[in-house]
Structure formats: structure tokens, C-alpha cells
Chains A and B, each alone.
Chain A
């Protein structure tokens, strides 16, 4: 199997190289047979990488410790599910997994464009193959997943205990899917620049790819947050760790891109900006990988650190300088007549929305790299942690939320003050009322009051939009309200799916604010039978039970949870001890309700039978995950096939004039 894996990766690299040459030659000399051959080479490359992945999975599942990777990241006692996920648990495996996803997406893009976009698709495929060459080069020459051990050990080192969690089964694949699928719109953008075919064909062709990427970046970030919440045991879900930041930045830029392309589709403006954004999004995915693997910035994700940093940095420099050079080269051709009538217009709202998103992305980037700058300039190591990011990004987030409410309700081109008052009166009243109620309820923090008021305002604007649409359908077609609502969303899925995503963002935002500002914490050491309380909850320690298998030892504490004298549940936080790694870990117990999460950590056990618990009561955190779910549902609605849109794409890629699709392409799809 190792030989097969090595051979497959070597052939995949050769196929990727051939594909570039054949694509470019075929496109330049108008030889479709060369383009077809290049396409087949890309499919074969995908097959080869798949063989390598299967070979490594086989090694992991059969505990073949002759393979250095298997010996380093698995053991005979590791549960089978985690042997499977160990593919992305270490350096070489995760790069192989990345390359596999890239080869799959490249193959799909090649298949979907086999008969269309003949002017730019071959170049886009060449760019994708170029990216694949970098990763395959790494796997063949720098960080080889099929290297063999000099002496075969009887047992492997095991997977890092922090990664032995079910969220790790889905968090990295989701994030990688988001990262890697961003390569496709980037490749088409680069191809548009290379060929000079700079209309919005590349945007329409890759719109679903961009949404797909955004969707998985969203899920990847949320799953990562959930993993941190359940595994790290500090009661939080986001620590502004450099690697978290690295995953957050492409999400922000991709969100900006998804909004700004609407201006290009609608008004033929912002061509340079959209190309720059997709280039930036892709570059940030590489930057994220550079941060994770270079060890340049200290991070909780240090388990993937290696000496790969210089290679990724080099690749990043090539990508950024090459792409920027192309943008400059095409600057004149990208100039398009644009018109702007008023700051009270949807265009303006989108521009400022982009500014806020990129502003937050820049603030996060700046905070992430500032320790490196400080060390370079002053020779002093500093830390830029959560307080910095919260203070800098927090106010910008409020601005962004405000614009989320404003954008959808104002018209393209311009709107008047009277119309503004008419559209925003009800949402503004909802916002102010929420603020007043919160104030009356005793909330005093200005950020919380503003955040809750803005959330109510934005939800109000969305309700107004739905109400208008439903009202129109009821008026014109005499539909019942539920039927009108369903048809409204179904017929304008892009617009109303976007609104559902906005609702999800607001719901998640409320969850983030509530859980950040109102968390309470109690640390208590108790003996069996003793009680303590947090908020309205009383907790009684019932005792400890122990369990041991070949892989780990587990000590589980049982706690009876009461509220108002009534037992509501029993919770069981645990301490785990992984034998191979000789490392302890925490299994938290969480009771989640829409009002608050009761979160219990078994912090310590002593010889006298006393257990120490760290307990957090975190209000509203439930809504963060609920908001994530809504965002996912909204994205599915946005991506749902739309006959009119397909027709518009077909017209666009045939070279006809751009046409408006699916009604009014509104908010954050």
C-alpha cells in the first residue's frame, strides 16, 4: 500500500503538470482535443489522489506502523472512527486530504465546464492544476505521507486526545471544504484576468461555488467553535486564536464578495473590487494554512506545526504578486462606466457593508500578525488576545449589523428621506423599544443595549420585507398567507434565502453578545452529598464512577441538578486519561436551554474524595448554534436550483448581454 500511495501521488503530479500545458496550448491554439485531453488528465489526477487517500486510510485502519504517519497519529487501541479521522489529524494526512478535495472540486469544475465557457475554462483549469501542483509537490518532495519507519514499532503514538472528539470528524472537513472550494472561483477570476474576458461570466459561472465555499466556511467555523466549547473546557467557544482568526478572515472576505458581486451583476460596477476580493479570499486560505503549519504565531493548534511555513509563504507570495500583477495589467480593461446617484441607495449600503466586513477582516489580520511585527520592530514579544479583538472588532460588528438592516430596504440608485422614514419607521420603533425594555430590565452595558436594539431593528426590516412580499402575493393572486409565504421564498429563493441567512446571523449575534456579557462562573470543591449553587440551579454531588479500557481511563462525576427545589436532570462531567499519550482531557457536561447553558467541568479530584467543579452559566449561547442552523437552511434555499437563473447563466456564458436573474438579487446570498 505505501508504494501504491507514493506511485499514485507521483503520477498525480505528472498529470497536473501535463494538464496545465495541454490546457494552455489547447486554448491558445484552439485545439479542443488538447483541452479535452487536459480535462481527462485532471480526472485521472483525481483518481490517483483518491488511490493515495485510500492507501493511507488502509494503513490507518489496519494499524500499519511501518508508515511513519500511522505510527505518529494512530494506535491499535484508537477507536476505529478516530483511525478514520486521523487522516486529517496530522500534517501530511491533512495536506493529502486538502489535495484530495482540490482534485475532486477541480474534476467537478472540469466536468461542468466541458462544453461551456470555452474561452476561460481551460485557463481556469490550468490555474486549478497549478494549485494542485503546489500541494502535490509538497506531498511528493517535502512532507510525504507514505514515508516508512526505520524500525517498525509495536504500537503507535496515538492521535492527539483533543482531536478524539466527534466534532473533529466534521470540523476540519467542513473548513477544508470551504477553503478548497474557494479555489474554483479564484481560478475562474484569474482566468478572466488572463484571457481578458472580464464581463461577469466568471462570477455567474462560479456563484454557486462561492456560496458553497461560504456555506462550508460558516459550518467549519461553527463546528470549530462547538468543538472548543465541548473539548477545551473553559466555558467559551471562541478565543481569537490565530488559527481561529485564519478561518474567520476568509469567511468575512467571502461574505463581502457575495454581497459585492450583486452590484456587478446588477450595475456592472466593482469589477476590480470583486476580482480583488476573490483573490484575497483565496490568499487568506493559504495564509491560514501558513499560520497553522509554520508555528510563526503561537496557537492552540500547535499540533499541526511543522517546517512547511517557508513553502506556504513562498506560494502565498507567488499567488498574491501574480494575481496583483494581473489586476494591474488589466486595470484599464476593467474600467467600466459606473453611476452613483446617492448615499441613500442600496449600492452605498453594499459599499459600506463591504467596508465593514473588510475592516473587520483587516482588524483580525492586523491583530494576528502584530506580535510578529512587534518582535521584528522592537524585538519584544507581545500577545494580542481576546481583549484586543473584542474591543476593535466589536464596534465594527455593530456597524455591520446596522447596515444589514438598512441595505435590503432601500432602493437601488436612490431613495428619498420620506421613503426612508416609511420603510424604517416600524423597524426603528422595534429597535428603540427593545433598547428601552432591556434598559428597564436592568441592562446597562452600552454595547449590549446597542446590540440588542440593532438586532431587533434588523429583524424588523426583514419582517417588513416578508410582509411586503406576502402582501403582494395575497393581493395579486389571492393566496393564503402561508401559501404566499412559501411561494414567495420558492420563487425568489436567492433573495429570501438571503434574508433567512440574515435572520440566522442576527440570532447568532444575539447568542454571542448574551454569552459574552452575562456569563457567570463558580468554582467549588465538594464532598459526596454536598451541594452548591449557581444562578437558580442547585447542584448536589452524588459521587464518582470509574471506567477503564485499553485506550483510556475515565472518572465520571454525577451531579443532581435542581431548580426551585425540583430535580431537573442529572449531569455527568468526566476526566479522561489517555494511556498512549499519557495526557489528561476533560469531558464537559452541558445542559442547554434557550435561556442559558449550564456547563460543568470536573476540574479536579483529590485523594480525600473531594471533587472540584468549575461551573458556568452562559445565557443565550443556545442561539449561536440555532443561528448557525438558520444560516445553513438559508444557504440551502439560496442554492436551490432556479430555472430562471439557469437560463440567465446559459445566456451569459454564450456571450450575450448580462441579464437580471431571479428577481432582485438581494441580501447576503
Chain B
């Protein structure tokens, strides 16, 4: 692969990682017309169940049950998803959010996985480049690749017949 092609691949990978990160973090932005389920998915139940307010199904839960009702009331009052979630954040702190915000230190939560992926792509390209410079003379692989051969070329046919005979 030429230097240019490799550079293009790296740039494409970087672009892909940015798009993926944006797609991930972008999901945090509020929808214009929230529904209660959507908002409740953005909040973590504080009863210790570890589920979101939408998913905590303890009938007597002292947090999720009143919160779901309250969310519906706030929606009926015309509050947006950002406003409702902001209200709960002010009241209980960041721990009530079901995913990290996209600001400050929390940005690392979103960027790091895709950044690591990008580094992985870079490592593969770097390693592959090194491997290509050091051809392996002791490779057990027989010569040319079969991939471009016709589906039933004579050599393949002979090997297949032999293999099938051996294998029964």
C-alpha cells in the first residue's frame, strides 16, 4: 500500500471515529417533543436497583414511581427534556443522570473508547506496514493465493478429491 493510500486510510479511520463519537454523544441532546419514557431513560433510579427510572419496576419504589409521575406532569406543563433532566440534576446531582454529560471531564467518557479504537486502527496499519517490509521466507503457506483462481481449477479439484477421499 502506498504512503498516500495509507494516509487516506488513517484519515478515513479518524473521520469514522469522530463520526461514531459524535453519534454517541449526540444522542444526549434532547428531543424537541419528549415522551415520559425517553426522559425516564435519562435518569437513574436512586433506590439502588441500578436501573434507569424507566426500567425500575419495583412497584413500591420510593424513587422511580413518583419520578415517573412527576416527569409526566412536567411534560404536560410543556417542559422540555433538557429542562426536566436539568431539574433532577440540580436536585440530586450528576449521579441521577443515566449517562455522563458531554462537558468537562465527562467528555473523556465519550471520547476515550473511540480514541482507543483509532489508536487500534493506527497500530494495525503500523504493524501491517512493518510486516509487509519483512517478507517471511519460512512461511508454511504454499505459493500463490487461490483467491483469484477459477472455482474449480484442476489443482483445486485434485486437492479436494484427495481431501475428500482421506476424510471419507
Which A residues fall within an 8 A CB radius of B?
232-236, 239, 241-242, 267-269, 298-300, 302, 337-343, 348, 351-352, 355, 358-359, 362-363, 366-367, 370, 374, 377-378, 380-388, 391-392, 394-396, 410-416, 418-419, 468, 472-473, 475-477, 491, 521, 575, 584, 586, 601, 603-604, 612, 614, 644, 657-658, 660, 663
Decide if A388 touches B99 in the complex (CB within 8 Å).
Answer: yes
Q: For B124, what are the chain A residues with a Cβ–Cβ distance below 8 Å?
A: 348, 351-352, 355
* Given A411-B146, A603-B57, A476 contacting B44 (CB threshold 8 A): no
User: Chain A interface secondary structure, helix, strand, loop or mixed?
Assistant: mixed
Which residues of B are in contact with A by a Cβ distance under 8 Å? 1, 9, 20, 23-25, 27-28, 37, 41-42, 44, 48-52, 55-57, 59-60, 93-100, 104-106, 108-110, 112-114, 116-117, 120-121, 124, 127-128, 131-132, 134-141, 145-148, 151-152, 157, 160-161, 163-164, 167-168
Chain A to chain B contacts (Cβ below 8 Å), 8 pairs: A233-B57, A239-B51, A340-B128, A385-B52, A388-B99, A477-B164, A586-B59, A658-B140
Which single residue of chain B is at the shortest CB-CB distance from A603? B59
| A387 close to B51 (CB less than 8 A) | no
| B41→A586 contact, CB < 8 A | no
Q: B55, A234: Cβ atoms under 8 Å?
A: yes
| Contact among B50, B55, B100, B137 with A370 in the assembled complex (CB-CB below 8 Å) | B100
Q: Given A234-B51, A391-B23, are A374 and B164 neighbors across the interface (CB < 8 Å)?
A: no
With both beta carbons as reference points, the residue of chain A lying nearest to B131 in the complex is identified as A340
Name the residue on A nearest B156 (C-beta): A472
Whole-angstrom distance between the alpha carbons of A412 and B164 in the complex?
22
Q: Which one of A383, A396, A644 lies within 8 Å of B98 (CB-CB)?
A: A383
B160 touches A419 (CB 8 A): no
Contact of B94 among A380, A411, A612 (CB under 8 A): A380
- Could you tell me the distance between the alpha carbons of A603 and B120 in the complex, rounded to whole angstroms? 47
Docked-complex contact B132 and A302, CB < 8 angstroms:
no
* CB-defined contacts of A302 to chain B, threshold 8 Å: 48
* Contact indicator B50/A241 (Cβ below 8 Å): yes
CB–CB A396/B117 < 8 A: yes
Contact in complex: A412, B55 (CB < 8 Å)? no
Closest to A344 in B: B147
| Contacting residue for A337 out of B42, B49, B134, B164, CB 8 A | B134
In contact, A415 and B145 (Cβ under 8 angstroms): yes
User: When the two chains form their complex, are residues A473 and B140 in contact, meaning their CB atoms are under 8 A apart?
Assistant: no
Q: How near does chain A come to B119, taking the closest CB pair, in angstroms?
A: 10
Pairwise interchain contact A476-B55, C-beta atoms closer than 8 A: no
Q: Are A383 and B97 in contact (CB under 8 A)?
A: yes
Q: How far is the CA of A384 from the CA of B146 in the complex (A)?
A: 48
Query: How distant is the Cα of A604 from the Cα of B60 in the complex, in angstroms?
Result: 8
Question: How far apart sit A414 and B1, CA to CA, in the bound complex (Å)?
Answer: 12
Contact indicator B136/A413 (Cβ below 8 Å): no
